[in-house]
Chain A
Amino acid sequence: MDFELSDEQRLIIQGVRRFIREEIRPLEAGLDPDAYQLQARDRERLVAMVKEMGLYQMDVPVEYGGPGVDAVTRTLIAEELSQHRAGLYAPAYGVFGSGPPAQLYAGTEVQKERYLWPSIRGEKHGFFGLSEPSGGSDPARAIQTRAIRDGDEWVINGRKLWNSGADTADYGVVYVRTDPTKGRQGITAFIVDTDTPGFRVERLVQVLRAHYTTELSFTDMHVPHENILGEEGGGFALANDYLSANRIPYSAACLGVAVYAHEMAVEWAKQRVTFGEPLANRQAIQWMLVDNEIDIRTGRWAALAAADLAERHRPFRFESSMAKLLCTEGAGRVVDRCMQIFGGLGMSKDLPLERWYRELRIRRIGEGPSEVQRIVMARDILNVRSGS
């Protein structure tokens, strides 16, 4: 076991850290405090810089043209990328490349040609369509959207809720019940073009964070059989694998925000004088800073442990759930303490803390709520499989 970063990792991290501090943070001064996109000209310039650094599309596997950065280093980088105002939901404003939805690697050659490659090139964007009004924690039981076979096509009817980015996407990976008698084996993933007749974004759903999400309806939407992603009935397993893997960068992004908030609070505590002494001299404040450090370090170790297992192709579901739980909840506590240390300023939109506070609250729900992470871990401990 080695907790030391390699020289190469250290160099990469330093480069990314400099990039975020010198290129991204200054641009935010000119943006609305709730903005989540850069202007096109800034974006293009920064993408070119990232390509030069050799880190563009680092989540894309090497065989698909990615730069071949291992999972542990990607996790370390993800922690750096979120260290700016919009960083939690828009790390580095996407200039490192957002990659295709990972489920597409399970696609056929035709599907890769139509969706995967254009997504890697940044020409197409996809959304993830699992949750429905009937529930998101337990999709195996909750999914009611139905697909019925009609010759070479499937006819899909139903509704989806909370599907982020569906309004700007070109396609989505949508999880639909194809066999109501089979529980989780009755769920199939379809790739659906958003311009398919019958596809509607019913409304943009406003939430706590700066970026809304969507509610969708599908009415007699005809999708070709060849658009099934993976096996018929294999959708649930596909979604589960995707969610388990995605929990690692999701956790690391929370950590990054916590690190930046903590750094700000440390500086402030040293400067701000009350009752004749800097806040940093008060034990009440010191303990808050210590608790921040504990939340950050435990979260980081959990995220890195999960990434290390993933890199070595060992089971990591328990560890990624643990990382998600520790990082989302820990980062929320860190930001809350930092707001307390800043006093009134911590409440204002002059600082990014209030934005992170709102966004981190969502992180305890999105990509599987905290309770679901505990259910996943409990199943491993008790060695039970639920639902069939």
Chain B
Amino acid sequence: MPIRKPWLEWDDAAPTKGLPGAMGVYELADAEQRVIYIGKAGARSPFGLRGELFRHFSTPERLARENWTHPRMGEPDLPSIAGRARYYRFEVNHMYYSRWVELLTRHQEDRGTLPPANLEDPEPRPRLGRYHWKSEEATSGL
């Protein structure tokens, strides 16, 4: 099952408080709304989904201005994300780990590969399985 939420365009001026500090999963997309990364805000994410999304999108100036001092927030982003991510969608989910694996598996089955930034991601991931069928989204060429 995909994340059933519309894509949202990142607004660097909007306050981040509207984003949940909870655990969950998220997807980032480029200007053509192609998924470039499937991420999770796990138990070790210092600010949950809010922190993970902000980390990918925000500028160093905004990080400094808003005093996000946690070392995780200043980490350089993966090359396929930096400067390319424009849209995001997320799902608050306590079972973030298995849901993350589910989203990765679906993407791999549909597209034959993982999103570009996941291929660069050093985060260990478990062996992904097969569905033996492609989703409607993939077969309709979207």
Contact = CB atoms under 8 A, between A and B. Distances in A.
A204 B127 CA distance: 14
B49 interface: no
B42 A34 contact: yes
Interface string B94-133: 0111110110010000000000000000001011111111
B19 interface: no
A288 interface: no
A32 B132 CA distance: 28
A165 to B, nearest CB: 8
Contact of B129 (A32, A36, A167, A206): A167
Contact of A201 (B98, B101, B124, B130): B130
B25 to A, nearest CB: 11
B97 A34 contact: yes
B132 A199 contact: yes
A282 B103 CA distance: 48
A206 B95 contact: yes
A34 B98 contact: yes
A195 B132 contact: yes
Describe B's contact surface by its main secondary structure.
loop
Nearest to B98: A212
A286 interface: no
Contacts of B105: 167, 204
Contacts of B98: 34, 204, 206-207, 209-212
Interface of A: 31-39, 166-169, 194-195, 199-204, 206-212, 349
B126 A37 contact: yes
Contacts of A211: 98
A202 B133 CA distance: 8
Contacts of B99: 206
A211 B132 CA distance: 20
B44 interface: yes
A37 B43 contact: no
B1 interface: yes
Contacts of A349: 43
Given A167-B129, A200-B132, A210-B95, A31 B124 contact: yes
B91 to A, nearest CB: 11
Interface of B: 1, 40, 42-44, 95-99, 101-102, 105, 124, 126-133
A201 B130 CA distance: 7
Nearest first, the 3 closest Cβ-Cβ pairs linking A and B are A167-B129, A349-B43, A34-B97
B131 to A, nearest CB: 5
Contact of B97 (A32, A166, A194): A32
Given A167-B105, A210-B95, A212-B101, A33 B132 contact: no
A209 B99 CA distance: 11
B108 to A, nearest CB: 11
A303 B105 CA distance: 38
6 contacts: A32-B42, A167-B105, A201-B132, A204-B98, A206-B102, A209-B98
A35 B126 contact: yes
A209 B97 CA distance: 10
B122 to A, nearest CB: 10
A216 to B, nearest CB: 10
Contacts of B42: 32-34
A166 B130 CA distance: 9
Nearest to B102: A204
A9 B132 CA distance: 45
A199 B124 CA distance: 29
A200 B126 CA distance: 21
A34 to B, nearest CB: 4
A202 B105 CA distance: 12
A211 B128 CA distance: 12
Contact of A33 (B44, B127, B129, B133): B44
A33 B43 contact: yes
A212 B95 CA distance: 9
Given A168-B128, A207-B95, 15 more contacts: A31-B124, A33-B44, A34-B42, A35-B124, A36-B126, A37-B126, A38-B124, A39-B124, A167-B129, A168-B127, A168-B129, A195-B132, A201-B131, A204-B98, A349-B43
A210 B97 contact: yes
A37 to B, nearest CB: 4
A43 to B, nearest CB: 11
Contacts of B97: 32, 34-35, 210
A207 B128 CA distance: 17
A324 to B, nearest CB: 25
Given A32-B42, A211-B98, A212-B98, A200 B133 contact: yes
A194 B98 CA distance: 21
A208 B95 CA distance: 7
Contacts of A195: 132
Nearest to B96: A34
B39 to A, nearest CB: 12
Nearest to B130: A167
